[in-house]
Amino acid sequence: MVSKTFLMVKPDGVQRQIIGDIISRFERKGLQLVGAKLMRVTTELAEEHYKEHKGKPFYENLIQFITSGPVFAMVWQGENVVDITRKLIGKTNPKDAEPGTIRGDYCLYVSKNIIHGSDSEESAVREISLFFNEDEILEYNKDIDVWIYKS
């Protein structure tokens, strides 16, 4: 089923100037970028986004980190986009992430793991609406989809 997911290059990825590399990986796979912006995450937004982790040992550090500099927030669309992007991103802890995945290729520590990706359809809907207004998500056709999608 074609659906949408929320992906975010975290402040470490922006500082390391790998936004372009990361976008390329999803484009090459055949997924479609339908929304994107460079932005700062306020403490309020960070706490809402990561509310399931409140009280965990890494929580305070995570909020501090995600608000420490600009992030690049994105909405991607495609077939099974949540599962596919989670696979391309790799395991949460870069030491367990396979080579070839973003976290496997670009980082060393769980606290600086470059990118966020929604982990379910429900999280995707929630996170997209937290970070994007409806008019910031575009609908458009790509002629090349005839070579990507099965007929």
Least separation in angstroms between residue 59's CB and ligand UDP is 8
Catalytic option among 73, 107, 116, 131: 116
**How far apart are CB 28 and ligand UDP at their closest, in Å?**
21
Nearer to ligand UDP, 120 or 144 (CB): 120
| Least distance from ligand UDP to the Cβ atom of residue 151, Å | 34
d(CA 149, CA 60): 43
Across 77-97, b (16+ Cβ under 10 Å) vs e yields bbeebbebbbebbbeeebeeb
Residue 10 is classified by DSSP as -
Tell whether residue 58 is among the known ligand binding residues.
yes
Options 1-9, 13-21, 29-37, 111-119: segment touching ligand UDP (CB under 6 A): 111-119
Please report, as a single letter, which amino acid is at residue 109.
Answer: Y
**Binder to ligand UDP among 32, 116, 127, 132 (CB under 6 A)?**
116
Report residue 100 as tokens: 């070839």
Report the DSSP beta bridge partners of residue 33: 76
Q: Let me know: does 32 contact 76? Beta carbons within 8 Å.
A: yes
123 touching ligand UDP, by CB under 6 A: no
Decide: 65 and 58 in contact? Cβ < 8 Å: no
According to the binding rule CB under 6 A, does residue 113 interact with ligand UDP? yes
The identity of residue 28, as a single letter, is R
**119 near ligand UDP, judged by CB under 6 A:** yes
Active site residue 116: yes
Which residue numbers are catalytic? 116
Binding residues for ligand UDP (CB under 6 A)? 58, 62, 92, 110-111, 113, 116, 119
